[in-house]
């Protein structure tokens, strides 16, 4: 039997510790679908950034594009940094596993955050994301997918990143679609690319755009 660990607390502690040095990646917008997300959300609408990190570059770009932004993050230091960097947005300390919004948002994004969840929490947070959107609202999701031949996706999930142990798991296309499609989320965009960085090594990055019907 696999070891049962409190992965939300583990990740909260790890991300709190790396918050001050996380800048390298957080300044870069990944892939090509984010601009489609910006174009798909009702202009001036309310957007939820799930795992908002330092607020850069996503919350900042959203604010600059006229959106009303709420960022949530489990790590207190991330929230503190984001408030300083993007004062025009609102940031609160909250785990995505605890969020309970109901049809309040025109757009939701989760960039490299839902991969920090184990499968039961992933399914649960998928439901919370869908519930937080208005009908016609758009969800932008960025994750890593498993790519090594014969990889046991649940075998190597406690990883050391930037010197801190944390939980991180790749999700296959079928798993993501299996979570969101039954929630009435229609896929309207998809993109794949490979990234290599010092902090995270080789990552096979997948981007999804869903619309709530």
Residue ranges that bind ligand SAM, judged by CB under 6 A? 8, 11, 15, 26, 51-53, 58, 72-75, 78, 95-97, 111-113, 116
Q: How far apart are CA 70 and CA 10, in angstroms?
A: 24
Q: Which lies closer to ligand SAM via its Cβ, residue 136 or residue 158?
A: 158
Query: For residue 52, what is the DSSP state?
Result: -
Q: Which lies closer to ligand SAM via its Cβ, residue 106 or residue 207?
A: 207
Q: Which residues, in sequence order, are bridge partners of residue 205?
A: 144, 193
What's the CA dihedral at 91, 140, 111, 93 to 10 degrees? 20
Name the minimum Å distance from CB 52 to ligand SAM.
6
Name the minimum Å distance from CB 155 to ligand SAM.
21
Q: How far apart are CA 91 and CA 58, in angstroms?
A: 13
Q: How far apart are CA 130 and CA 210, in angstroms?
A: 10
Q: Which lies closer to ligand SAM via its Cβ, residue 1 or residue 125?
A: 125
Name the minimum Å distance from CB 121 to ligand SAM.
8
Q: Which lies closer to ligand SAM via its Cβ, residue 28 or residue 186?
A: 28
Using Cβ positions, the residue closest to ligand SAM within the complex turns out to be 53
Name the minimum Å distance from CB 42 to ligand SAM.
22
* CB 104 within 8 Å of CB 124: no
């Amino acid at each position: 039997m696999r070891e049962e660990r409190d992965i939300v607390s583990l990740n909260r502690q790890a991300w709190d510790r790396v918050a001050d040095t996380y800048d390298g990646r957080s300044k870069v917008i990944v892939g090509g679908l984010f601009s489609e997300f910006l174009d798909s959300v009702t202009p001036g609408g309310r957007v939820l950034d799930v795992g908002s990190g330092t607020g850069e570059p996503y919350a900042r770009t959203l604010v600059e594009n006229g959106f009303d932004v709420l960022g949530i993050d489990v790590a207190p230091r991330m929230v503190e940094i984001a408030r300083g960097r993007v004062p025009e947005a609102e940031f609160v300390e909250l785990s995505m596993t605890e969020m309970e919004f109901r049809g309040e948002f025109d757009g939701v994004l989760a960039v490299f955050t839902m991969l920090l969840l184990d499968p039961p929490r992933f399914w649960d947070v998928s439901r919370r994301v869908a519930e937080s959107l208005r009908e016609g609202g758009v969800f932008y999701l960025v994750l890593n997918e498993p790519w090594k031949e014969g990889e046991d996706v649940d075998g190597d999930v406690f990883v050391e990143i930037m010197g801190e142990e944390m939980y991180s798991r790749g999700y296959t296309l079928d798993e993501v679609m299996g979570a969101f499609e039954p929630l009435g989320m229609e896929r309207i965009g998809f993109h794949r690319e490979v990234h290599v960085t010092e902090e995270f090594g080789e990552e096979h990055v997948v981007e999804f755009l869903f619309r709530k019907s």
